[in-house]
Amino acid sequence: MMGRAATPRVQAIDVVRGLAMVIMALDHIREFWCPTPMRPEDVTQASAPLFFTRWITHFCAPTFVFLAGVSIFLYQQKRASRSQVSQFLLKRGLWLLGLEIVVINFLLQWGYNLIVLEVIWVLGWGMLVLAGLIWVPRWLTAALALAFLAGHNLLPPIQPVTGANVGWALLHNTPFVLKLDWLPPPVLVAYSFGPWVAVMAAGYVIGPWFLAPLAQRTRRLRTAGVGLLVLFVALRATNWYGELAPWSVQPRGPLYSALSFVNITKYPPSLLFLSLTLGVALVLLSVAEGAPGRLSRWLQTYGRVPLFYFLLHFCLISGGAFIWTTLAFGKAINLSFAAVKDWPAAYHPSLLRAYVVWVVVVGLLYWPCRWYQGYKQRHSYWWLSYL
């Protein structure tokens, strides 16, 4: 098999995506290795370190989905026809939907007692939708994405979700459970796909910025990023619009009042959630191109093989938790999905344990990801486009 021809990559995309994926592993490790009785985002109960450990990972999904849209645009520039791109997006979107249901769910739960639909699910839907949107004028895609991102907070959540309104709930809603006659396990829709598809479409729309001269690209990314952060501060300070949960002064002190200010809604992602997270992502993209040093090269290794990293990190985290709980408590127990009352008496949450496991997992992933990156560069098998 002949080697794949070298193609230029945008370093900033790989660096920022790699950073998001490294931080993402911390959240998944926390859920498997350090679940807590209270929600980490509950500023009335959670400690500041626990809150921060969860909050910092909010930046991962929006960044990952947004950059997927940018990457689709850049992929389109390398293909002869939109028809070819559209067909690929249809196939890869369906592949991701199947991957979420069959593989990711097993790794999450060690079985199929519940079907959970999360970020890979919305990536799949985003590709299916973009398979059609690449045929319409870019200004129309931009208008649709902007209208949904800015306006979806006007839509009330649907409770309860029934067969009559499930389509609308899949488009925009807080997490909900579906019980389908033809599917034995219940389905938890954690990510309603509407806002996330709009995020991917927004990434696709600004894709041409990454073909512009570096100085122009940097200026555009920085201006857009700072603009989103200013919007976040202005709207959040007034509690006027864009967030379901208003911030408030906390009796626990100024620190927790500040945490309340940045405590924003991910399910579904509010306008302020996306303003903050994508604002930071755009600023990082404006400074990451050409960044020298070992850290930049290390992050690029992960950012160039995102799906391979995603699957492998879940194997390590989930498999490691299976072994740890078996040795520690005499039986394997999935603490992430078990009810608090079913936790072993000897179990105690430990953020130190979570951070140690995080360092170990991310370190172990480096060499497989580096190998796979080289393998993809040397080969052009069709299936490499799907992993």
Q: Indicate the pTM of the whole model.
A: 0.95
Using CA of residue 103, residue 26, residue 67, residue 379, what is the dihedral sign?
negative
Q: What is the largest CA-CA distance in the chain?
A: 66
Q: Which of 273, 210, 181 is nearest to 75 (CA)?
A: 210
pLDDT tens sequence across 178-209: 888 777 899 999 999 999 999 999 999 999 99
358 close to 23: Cβ distance less than 8 angstroms: no
Using CA of residue 282, residue 287, residue 288, residue 289, what is the dihedral sign?
positive
Token pair belonging to 213: 């001269």
Task: Give 87-128 as a DSSP string.
Answer: HHHHHHHHHHHHHIIIIIHHHHHSS-SSEEE-HHHHHHHHHH
Cross-strand bridge partners of residue 115: 187
Q: Which of 259, 352, 246 is nearest to 44 (CA)?
A: 259
325 close to 331: Cβ distance less than 8 angstroms: yes
Ordered by start, the domain boundaries in the chain are: 11-386
pLDDT tens sequence across 259-268: 999 999 999 9
- Asked whether the predicted pLDDT for residue 285 surpasses 90, the reply is yes
Residue 176 confidence (pLDDT) = 94
53 close to 41: Cβ distance less than 8 angstroms: no
Q: Which of 367, 369, 360, 371 is nearest to 316 (CA)?
A: 360
Report the DSSP pairing between strands 115-117 and 183-189. Answer: parallel
Mean pLDDT, residues 349-353: 97
Q: Which of 162, 9, 176, 154 is nearest to 78 (CA)?
A: 9
**Is the preceding peptide bond at 35 cis, omega within 30 degrees of 0?**
no
Q: How far apart are the first and last CA of the chain?
A: 18
306 close to 232: Cβ distance less than 8 angstroms: no
Confidence class of residue 381 from pLDDT cuts 50, 70 and 90?
confident
Confidence class of residue 386 from pLDDT cuts 50, 70 and 90?
confident
- Asked whether the predicted pLDDT for residue 4 surpasses 50, the reply is no
Mean pLDDT, residues 199-223: 97
Please list the alpha-helical segments (H only) found in the chain. 11-33, 48-55, 60-77, 82-99, 105-109, 119-133, 138-151, 166-171, 193-205, 214-238, 254-262, 271-288, 294-303, 306-329, 351-378
289 close to 11: Cβ distance less than 8 angstroms: yes
Other CB atoms closer than 10 Å to residue 77's CB: what's the count? 11
Cα separation values, 276 from 19, 63, 142, 175, 237, Å: 17, 11, 19, 21, 13
Residue 5 confidence (pLDDT) = 41
Unique residue bearing structure tokens 């309104």: 165
306 close to 20: Cβ distance less than 8 angstroms: no
Percent of the chain with pLDDT over 90: 86
Q: How many residues does the chain have?
A: 387
Mean pLDDT, residues 248-276: 97
Confidence class of residue 383 from pLDDT cuts 50, 70 and 90?
confident
Residue 359 confidence (pLDDT) = 98
3-state secondary structure of 286: helix
Separation of alpha carbons 63 and 43, rounded Å: 25
